[in-house]
A and B are shown apart, each in its own frame.
Chain A
Amino acid sequence: MWIEYQWRTVLAYLPDYLHAATLALRITVVGFLLAFALAMIAAMARNSSVRILQILAACYVEAIRNTPVLLQIFIVYFALPSFGIRLSAVTAGTIALGINVGAYLTEVIRAGISSVGDGQLEAAQILGLSKAHIFVYIVAPQALRNVFPALVNNLVQVLLGTSLLSTIAVPEITGVATVINARTLLFVQVFGIAVALYLVLSYGLSAIAALIGRLAFRAPATARARKRSSALNLIGVRP
């Protein structure tokens, strides 16, 4: 009875949780897009022949990957105003997360680019395709497909990173949960629901991403993949 009361009390806050989740999702999507854009630029800089660009990109990646993301969030939110850049908590948080995951994505994209065999580049060159053509039509599609799981992983990382934004008073899931906990002291239920929300969101994102992946990359990747789907067909599961 007591347990039931506890759950009902906390579940009454569901609308607040959902608002928080929506905000977290928005920050995740925008943050990831920013991260992707930064990563593309950094990856190309790293692969370019201009030494300064190479070094700058490398510094970006190493500096971000070897310092805590919480520190980066604080720097964007608290230190930038000293330079005249005053951002809202949500904006600062989104930018910080974007910069953070962007560094990790840079390495992912570089791996993707180098996974496209040299032989294909030679074949494309001989055919007369320009460097831009080669990148857009040969390298990018394959690179993206090859590193897609890693991309999705990093998307989930942004989502989990939003949790830290509670420290700068962003009303996302963890922040809201902390407040509800302060009010009800029912930490098991309060944080339990928060965890459940994160799990639903992270698995949901992965599932949607997997669907997008399947639609976007329609070419059968390998003979092994082909055999697997015909086996699935046999037991009645649609590939």
Chain B
Amino acid sequence: MSTSTLNETSIGRDIRLSGVTKAFADLQVLKDITLDVADGEVVVLIGASGSGKSTLLRIMSGLETASSGEVVVGGVPMHEPKRAREIRGHVGMVFQQFNLFPHLDALGNVTLALRKVYKMSAQDARKKGLEVLARVGMDDRAHHYPSQLSGGQQQRVAIARALAVDPRIIFFDEATSALDPELVGEVTNVMRGLADDGMTMVVVTHEMGFARRTADRVVFMADGVIAEQGSPEEIFGNPQHPKTIQFLSKVTDH
């Protein structure tokens, strides 16, 4: 990682899932997921809507709790209710709807956690904020408000906001799905840069091009289970599972 770490905690950069299930009322969304993500690995989850990939991501980031199974993120046993909060502020999440704070400008969005959680001085926070905005190419718009930015620009600010707290892992929940096609590239380029810098990333996406070029491992999910996983070459070049083949043919057909 090129930036200095804010917090010398013992939280790691890997994820271990074992036998994870999740049910909402009567609906079984995840059925027995076992998955490991190594330090610095970029894992991309693909699959149809309803396959459970977003739910899995949200369980890993702590926004949902698994119904059963073990979820260990960076060494923190998330399935133990009292300990789930420990990863807050140490992992990052980028949302489909950006979820920027509209009443703060870009710099404000990025430095809020720095100032309030890490108690950085205004000066230090500003410095780090500008650093991180520069990393995503938005330092010249530090004082623009979300409503003054395009979708792609907003999402890059959202990535900068996640980066500012030196996360161990960053989760991307369909980060480009709400963007106009011509804006997708600027965001995936930033994500690629993060991957090259060695960030552990778990990405849910429909952008097969991104998966092909940037993923270390592609995981295809269907009906709440992992149907197939492997390197991008294996999955896109030589898919084995019938559902994978079906999904990929539908995706590349248009």
Is A in direct contact with B (CB under 8 Å) within the complex? yes
Q: Which residues of B contact A145 (CB under 8 A)?
A: 103
Q: Which residues of B contact A126 (CB under 8 A)?
A: 61-63, 88-89, 91-93, 162
Q: A130 to B92, alpha carbons, bound, how many Å?
A: 16
* Cross-chain contact B112 with A127 (CB below 8 angstroms): yes
Among A125, A127, A226, point to the contact of B148 (Cβ < 8 A): A226
State the majority secondary structure of interface residues on B.
loop
Q: Is A221 an interface residue (CB 8 A)?
A: yes
* Cross-chain contact B145 with A129 (CB below 8 angstroms): no
Q: Is B53 an interface residue (CB 8 A)?
A: no
Q: Which residues of A contact B63 (CB under 8 A)?
A: 122, 125-126
Q: A126-B62, A127-B89 are in contact. Are A219 and B145 (CB under 8 A)?
A: yes
Q: A120 to B109, alpha carbons, bound, how many Å?
A: 11
Q: A46 to B62, alpha carbons, bound, how many Å?
A: 27
* Cross-chain contact A137 with B112 (CB below 8 angstroms): yes
Q: Which residues of A contact B100 (CB under 8 A)?
A: 120, 123
* Cross-chain contact A219 with B103 (CB below 8 angstroms): yes
Interface size class of B (residues with CB under 8 A): 20 to 34
State the majority secondary structure of interface residues on A.
helix
| Min C-beta distance of B64 to chain A, whole Å | 10
Interface centre among A122, A123, A142 (most CB of B within 10 A): A123
Least CB separation from B171: chain A residue:
A126
Q: Is A237 an interface residue (CB 8 A)?
A: no
Q: A133-B116, A142-B102 are in contact. Are A128 and B147 (CB under 8 A)?
A: no
Q: A126-B62, A127-B117, A133-B117 are in contact. Are A220 and B95 (CB under 8 A)?
A: no
Q: A223-B147, A226-B147 are in contact. Are A142 and B103 (CB under 8 A)?
A: yes
| Min C-beta distance of B173 to chain A, whole Å | 10
Q: Which residues of B contact A209 (CB under 8 A)?
A: none
Q: Which residues of A contact B174 (CB under 8 A)?
A: none
| Min C-beta distance of B122 to chain A, whole Å | 14
* Cross-chain contact B95 with A129 (CB below 8 angstroms): no
* Cross-chain contact B93 with A128 (CB below 8 angstroms): no
Q: A219 to B161, alpha carbons, bound, how many Å?
A: 19
Q: A164 to B99, alpha carbons, bound, how many Å?
A: 47
Could you list which residues of chain A lie within 8 angstroms of chain B, going by C-beta atoms? Answer: 117, 119-120, 122-130, 133, 137-138, 141-142, 145, 217, 219-223, 226
List 30 A–B pairs whose Cβ atoms lie within 8 Å, in order of A's numbering: A119-B98, A119-B99, A120-B99, A120-B100, A123-B95, A123-B99, A123-B101, A125-B88, A126-B61, A126-B62, A126-B88, A126-B91, A126-B92, A126-B93, A126-B162, A127-B89, A127-B112, A127-B162, A127-B165, A128-B88, A128-B90, A128-B117, A128-B165, A129-B116, A130-B117, A137-B112, A142-B101, A219-B147, A221-B147, A223-B148
Give the 8 A-B CB pairs with smallest separation, nearest first. Answer: A128-B89, A119-B99, A123-B99, A127-B113, A128-B88, A126-B93, A128-B117, A219-B103
